[in-house]
Structure 1
Amino acid sequence: MLVRAYLRASTKEQDAGRAKADLVDFCQARALTIAATYEENESGASLHRPQLFRLLEDSHPGDVLLIEQVDRLSRLSEQDWDKLKALIKEKGVRVVALDLPTSHMMMKSDDAFTSRMFDAINSMLLDMLAAIARKDYDDRRRRQAQGIAKAKAEGRMKGRPEDAKRNEAITLMLRSGQSWNTIVQATGASRSTLSRLSQRMKATDLAHADNCIPDSGD
C-alpha cells in the first residue's frame, strides 16, 4: 500500500501545498510515508484535473489517495462525481480524508469483511460530503451573482477604467484615416472599442461644428 497525497487549490494565487504538513503529520502518526505528492491549482468543480488523474494513473490496487478535506477532491456535479468515483473504484484506490474519521480505518484494515464494511460506510459519507461541497459551491456562486446584480442595479459596479492615453491615440489614428484592421493590429483594441470611439469622435465633431455656427444677429 502506497500513500499518495493530493493537494488542490482553486486559483494560482492560492497555495495548493498549504496542507502538506498536515498530511505528513497524519501519516507519521500512523508510521506511514507519503510516496508521492500531487499538487495543482484547478477548480474542484471541474474534471480538468491533470495531477489528480496522474495520481490515479500511477496508483495500484490498495493504494491510498490522501486528501485534507473531501472538497479538495470534489466540488463536482453529481454526474462528474459519479465518473470520478467509477475511476477510483476501477483503480482500487482507497480515499482517505483528514476530515472524514471513518476513512482513516481504510488505512489499517486487512480483514476482507471489515474492509468491505468500512468501504461501504466510507463511500456513503464521501457521497454526502461531496454533495455538501457542491451545494456550497453553487450557493457561493449564486450569492456572488446576486451581489453583482444588486451592485449593477444600484450603480455601484462600473466597468474597467478607460485607458485614456490608448483611446486618444486610437482617435488620432481614426482621424488620420487609418483602417480599422491596422488600428486593431497596432493597439490590440477590439472593433467594438473602435466603433465606440468613432461614434464619440463624430459626436464631438458635430457639437464643435454647432458651436462654431456664427450668430445670425436675430
Structure 2
Amino acid sequence: MNAHLYLRASTKDQDANRAKTSLEKFAVDNGLTIAGIYSENISGTKLERPELLRLLETAKPGEILLCESVDRLSRLSLEDWETLKATIKAKGLKLVIADLPTSHQMFDAKGITGEVMRVINDMLIELMSTMARLDQEKRVERIMQGLRNKKAANPDWKPAGKGKDTAKWAKVKETLAKHPTMSADDIAKVAGCGVATVYRIKREMA
C-alpha cells in the first residue's frame, strides 16, 4: 500500500524533516511503499498549506496519509478541522498517525475487530486534535494578553491584520454556481486556491 508522508514544523527555526527518518522506518516496518514526502515550515493553524494541499491533490483513493502525530497535521479550528477531515475522506485516503498505535494496528485487523479498531482510532484522533486545538487556543490567549498590554501602554499602537482572500472565495462560489458538477480539483485550479478551500466553501454553502 502506498503512503504519503507529511512533515510539518511551525517555524523556520524548527526542522520539518526531523521526523523524516522515523516515518520512513515506520513505513518500511509496516510494509508500506513511500509514494511521496511532503515537508513544510508553516503553522498547523493554517488550512491552506502548499505541501499538504499538494499531497491531497496527488494521493489516490485507498492510499495512506502518514503523519508523526496529530498535532503535526492539525492545530486547526474546529471548523477547519472538519473541512480537512472531509477533504481527506472525499479523497478516499486513510489517515495513519505513527505515534498512535491504534492507527497501525488496523493494518492487520479484519472483520468486527477491524471495525472496532477503526472506531477507537477515530475517537483517539478526535481527542488528540481537540487537545492540540486547546493548546493552540492557550497560546493565542497569551499572545492576546500581550497585545492588550501593549495597547494599554500605548493607546495609539495597532497590530497588523490579514483577512481571507475574498477574491478567491468569490471565484470559487461563482464557479460552483456555474458548474455544479465540476470536481473540487478543477475548481481549485480555476480559482487559484487549494482544494481544501473548495470543500470548506461547499460546506458553508450547503
If the length of structure 1 is used for normalisation, what is the TM-score? 0.63
Moved more, 123-132 or 9-18: 9-18
CA distance in 2, matches of 1:143, 1:90: 36
In the alignment, the residues of structure 2 paired with residue 117 and residue 93 of structure 1 have an alpha-carbon distance, to the nearest angstrom, of 19
Q: 1:118 and 1:58 mapped to 2: Cα distance?
A: 27
Question: Does 1:131 pair with 2:138?
Answer: no
One-letter code of the match for 2:118? Answer: D
Name the residue aligned to 2:140: 141
Give the Cα separation in 2 of the matches to 1:114 and 1:34.
27
User: Which fold has the larger relative contact order, with Cα–Cα distance below 8 Å and residues 6 or more apart in sequence?
Assistant: 2
Unmatched tracts of structure 2, length 5 or more: 155-206
Cross-structure match for 1:72: 72
| Bigger Rg, structure 1 or 2 | 1
- The residue number in structure 1 matching 2:34 is 34
Provide Cα deviations, 1:36-81, integer angstroms capped at 9, x if missing partner.
1011122111101121122122222221111111001110111111
Query: Amino acid of the residue matched to residue 115 of structure 2?
Result: R
For the 8 Å contact 1:3–1:33, the answer to whether it is kept is yes
Give the distance between the partners of 1:94 and 1:29, measured in 2 at CA.
18
- Aligned match of 1:53: 53
Query: Residue 64 of structure 1 contacts residue 107 of structure 1 at CA under 8 Å; is this kept in 2?
Result: no
Distance change >3 Å, CA 47–CA 56, structure 1 → 2: same
Alignment size in residue pairs: 156
Query: Residues 1-218 of structure 1: matches in 2 within 5 Å?
Result: 1-109=1-109, 111-147=110-146, 149-150=148-149
Compared CA separation, residues 35 and 107, structure 1 to 2 (3 A): farther
The TM-score normalised by the length of structure 2 is: 0.67
- SS of corresponding position for 2:18: helix
Distance 1:58 1:117, change over 3 A: farther
The alignment partner of 1:65 has SS state of: strand
SS of 2:105's equivalent in the other structure is helix
Q: Work out whether residues 94 and 106 of structure 1, in 8 Å CA contact, stay in contact via their aligned partners in 2.
A: no
Identity of aligned residues (%): 50
Q: Deviations over 1:86-108 (max 9, x none)?
A: 11111221111122111112333
- Quick check: 1:4–1:36 contact (8 Å CA) kept in 2? yes
Q: Report the 3-state secondary structure (helix = DSSP H, G, I; strand = E; otherwise coil) of the residue aligned with 2:135.
A: helix
SS in 1 for 2:45: coil
**Aligned AA (1:80):** D
RMSD over aligned Cα, in angstroms?
Answer: 2.4
Partner of 1:16, secondary structure, is: coil
Could you tell me how far 1:153 is from its partner in structure 2?
6.2
